[in-house]
Amino acid sequence: MATPTLPAELSDATSDERSLRRFLHGLPGVDQVGVEQRAAGLGTRSIKKGSKLQAIDTAISMVDLTTLEGADTHGKVRALAAKARRPDPERPDTPRVAAVCVYPDLVATAVEALAGTGIGVASVATAFPSGRSSREVKLADVALAVHSGATEVDMVIDRGAFLEGRYGQVFDEIQAVKAACGDAHLKVILETGELATYDNVRRASWLALLAGGDFIKTSTGKVSPAATLPVTHVMLQAVRDWYTTTGELRGVKPAGGIRTTKDAIRYLVAVHEVAGPDWLTPSLFRFGASSLLNDLLLQRRTQLDGHYSGPDYVTVD
C-alpha cells in the first residue's frame, strides 16, 4: 500500500491496513456544532455589486456542466458542449465553464464537440453512481473514458468497504484508478450523504488524498443529502491541511443541490475563508451542476443591465 511520493510520516501511515486505520482514526474529531455554526455564519456574508459580478464570473468558470441520465443522447451532449463554449451567446465576454461531464460512452462525442476550446471533458466511471462492481469492471470503465479522450475522471469510492472499515481496499482501488487515469485528473467522489458523520467525511477525504486523488468530491448527485456547506467546510479543511503537510495543492468539488447564485457565492466565501484564496480557481474548486449555470447567467445579466432577465433569455437545461 505504501506510496513513495508522500512525506515520511504519511508514507508510514499507508504502509499497511493497521497503520492506515490508526492514522485515520487518529485524525482530530470534527466539532459538529462548530462547523455548522461557522458554515451558517459565513453563509450570511454580503457581497457588494462590483464584487458580486466578479464572484458570478468566477463561479461560471468553475462549473462542470453535467448530464448523467440514462436517456442522454449524442445530440444532448453536443448541445451541452455548445452551451459550455458560449454560455450566453449574446454576451461573448461570459466566461466558459471548466468542463463538460458525461458517461464514458459519450466522452468521444464531447471531445469532438469541444476540440480546441480548452474546456475539459470529464467522465464518471467505476460503476457510477453505486460503485457496486468488480475492480476489473471499474478499471475497464476508466479505460473506456480515458481512451476516448477524457481529461478528468470522477470515480466513486466503495462506501460499503469504507463503512466496514476496510480502508486498505478503498485506498488500493483509488490508487489503481489513479494509475489507469494516466494524464487525466482524478476526482474521488465520497458520497458524503452516505457517510453519516463529519468524522467519516474527514477520514474519507484524507484517505482519498493519501491514495492520490487530485480532487475530493462530495457527491454523485444521485443521493440525498448531496453537497452541504458544513461537509464542504470539512473537505476544504482537509485539502488545506494536506497542503500544509505536503506542499501539494489538491481540489474540492461540491456536487448536487447547488442551484442558485446565492448558493454558489456562499461556497466561494467558504473556499476563501476555510482553504484560502489560492483555491479560488477552476484548477482547485469546481461546482458539479447544470441548473446552477442558468441562474448564474440570469444574475450576471441583472448585474450588467440593472434589471432582471427572465429564463427566456438563456437556454434552460
The answer to whether the CB of 300 falls within 8 A of the CB of 268 is no
* pLDDT tens per residue across span 224-244: 999 999 999 999 999 999 999
Q: Report DSSP letters for 149-204, one per residue.
A: T-SEEEEE--HHHHHTT-HHHHHHHHHHHHHHHTTSEEEEE--GGGT-SHHHHHHH
Q: In what order do the strands lie in the sheet with 99-102?
A: 251-253, 215-217, 185-189, 152-156, 120-124, 99-102, 63-66, 287-288
* pLDDT tens per residue across span 105-115: 999 999 999 99
Q: What does the pLDDT average to over 262-278? A: 97
What is the pLDDT of the chain when averaged over all its residues?
94
Backbone φ, ψ for residue 158 (5° rounding)? -80, 95
Q: In this predicted structure, what is the pLDDT of residue 4? A: 43
Distance of CA 146 to the CA centre of its chain: 18
Is position 253 annotated as part of the catalytic site?
A: yes
Neighbours of 275 (CB within 10 A): 26
Q: In this predicted structure, what is the pLDDT of residue 314? A: 58
User: How far is residue 26's CA from residue 183's CA, in Å, rounded to a whole number?
Assistant: 33
**Is the per-residue pLDDT at 90 higher than 90?**
yes
Out of 64, 138, 253, 263, pick the active-site residue: 253
**Is the per-residue pLDDT at 177 higher than 80?**
yes
**Is the per-residue pLDDT at 311 higher than 90?**
no
Residue type for 299, please? Q
pLDDT level of residue 313 (50, 70, 90 thresholds): low
Out of 83, 178, 187, 217, pick the active-site residue: 217
**Is the per-residue pLDDT at 45 higher than 90?**
no
Q: In this predicted structure, what is the pLDDT of residue 47? A: 80
| Prior bond of 254 cis (ω within 30°) | no
pLDDT level of residue 317 (50, 70, 90 thresholds): low
pLDDT level of residue 118 (50, 70, 90 thresholds): very high
Out of 64, 88, 141, 154, pick the active-site residue: 154
Q: In this predicted structure, what is the pLDDT of residue 2? A: 44
